[in-house]
């Protein structure tokens, strides 16, 4: 298995996020990627290669050009206004307010960010483009014949929608990877999102499309972020009807219940006959994750990886969440080792 990684993620290192009641130190920190890479190397999981620069085509099919331009210029525009620090959204249009009625950078943050957990630093854009390039390099490795590849993407991506950032996510790496495959004569792709939080951005991007089946296993949005998406009755619309499956679970879900739902998701994916599988790999399902509540243990991830391998599909793993930093690398290594041991 090739592991695609780059030091460019370090260019995105904001200090704070807006949480209920306070600005708190941000959980999505550069150490996350460093620790995962070190653990994979220690466990001799795969071979590390650098990403190559990729074209913008698939990204601009997934994300609106005006949104991408916002990501590119937001920090400079904020500084030109006289702002200090790393800006994040603080006001949002609601009701009959016109979301496009102001060119103020403050208004644009409200237009293009759905929460306060996506601060933009001077070099955030460079980091998110590097993260995209990692995802596409891994995708090309598998497209060219590898059984699997792991894209060590940071920042993550599954909360980013067509025209918005949120939940630490700016560009939707999994969606861009799927679009690239479809652009290269692939008929059907499946995305399996096993992050603790629902992949609302990925769902929205493909909700009316039948060429990408989306399955998300996550904590019930009735009481967990992102709250406004991820419910069982969201099954797709138009051409996408029947290609979207949400499998929400209660707090404190343990391995047995989680695996039961995984089996249901795998059956759904197999029914769509995909040519490739993309796994949005979040390990914030871990029992000690500071912003989650599931009860998966480090040793459990090996079996999860094995079960995913049993689908026998060319597989691209794309790194998403996981914030128990000290155990993060071991959890990712366990899942990928379990996958690799199955073939």
Q: Judge contact between 55 and 129, C-beta under 8 A.
A: no
Phi-psi category of 227—alpha, beta or left, where left has phi over 0 and alpha has psi -120 to 50? Answer: left
Alpha-carbon 208 to chain mean position? 20
Q: Judge contact between 133 and 81, C-beta under 8 A.
A: no
| Helices 325-340 and 31-42, packing angle to 10 deg | 40
Task: Give the Cα separation of 316 and 313 in Å (integer).
Answer: 9
Write the DSSP string, 153-181.
Answer: -SS--TT-BTTBBBTTBSS-HHHHHHHHH
Task: Give the Cα separation of 324 and 332 in Å (integer).
Answer: 12
SS3 266: helix
Of 9, 12, 63, 159, catalytic:
159
Task: Give the Cα separation of 61 and 202 in Å (integer).
Answer: 13
Nearest to 269 by CA among 154, 164, 189: 189
Does 197 qualify as catalytic in the annotation? no
Q: Which residues are marked as active site?
A: 159
């Amino acid at each position: 298995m090739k592991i695609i990684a780059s030091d460019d993620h370090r260019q995105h290192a904001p200090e704070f996020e807006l949480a209920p009641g306070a600005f708190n130190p941000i959980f999505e920190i550069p150490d996350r990627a460093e620790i995962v890479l070190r653990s994979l190397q220690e466990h001799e999981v795969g071979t590390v290669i650098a990403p190559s620069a990729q074209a913008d085509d698939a990204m601009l099919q997934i994300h609106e050009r005006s949104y991408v331009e916002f990501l590119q210029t937001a920090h400079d525009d904020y500084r030109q206004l006289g702002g200090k620090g790393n800006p994040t959204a603080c006001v949002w249009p609601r009701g009959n307010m016109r979301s496009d009625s102001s060119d103020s950078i403050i208004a644009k943050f409200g237009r293009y960010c759905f929460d306060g957990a996506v601060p933009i630093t001077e070099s955030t854009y460079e980091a998110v483009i590097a993260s995209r390039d990692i995802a596409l390099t891994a995708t090309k490795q598998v497209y060219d014949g590898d059984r699997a590849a792991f894209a060590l993407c940071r920042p993550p991506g599954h909360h980013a929608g067509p025209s918005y950032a949120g939940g630490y996510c700016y560009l939707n790496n999994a969606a861009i990877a799927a679009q690239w495959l479809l652009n290269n004569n692939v008929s059907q792709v499946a995305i399996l999102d096993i992050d603790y939080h629902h992949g609302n951005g990925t769902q929205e991007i493909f909700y009316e499309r039948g060429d990408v089946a989306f399955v998300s296993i996550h904590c019930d949005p009735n009481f967990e972020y992102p709250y406004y998406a991820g419910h069982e009755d969201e099954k797709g619309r138009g051409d996408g009807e029947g290609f979207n499956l949400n499998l929400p679970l209660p707090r404190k879900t343990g391995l047995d219940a989680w695996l039961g739902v995984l089996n249901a998701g795998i059956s759904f994916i197999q029914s769509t006959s995909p040519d490739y599988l993309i796994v949005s790999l979040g390990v914030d399902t871990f029992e000690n994750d500071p912003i989650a509540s599931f009860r998966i243990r480090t040793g459990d991830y090996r079996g999860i990886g094995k079960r995913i391998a049993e689908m026998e599909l060319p597989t691209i793993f794309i790194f998403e969440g996981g914030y128990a930093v000290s155990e993060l690398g071991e959890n990712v290594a366990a899942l990928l080792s379990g996958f690799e041991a199955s073939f």
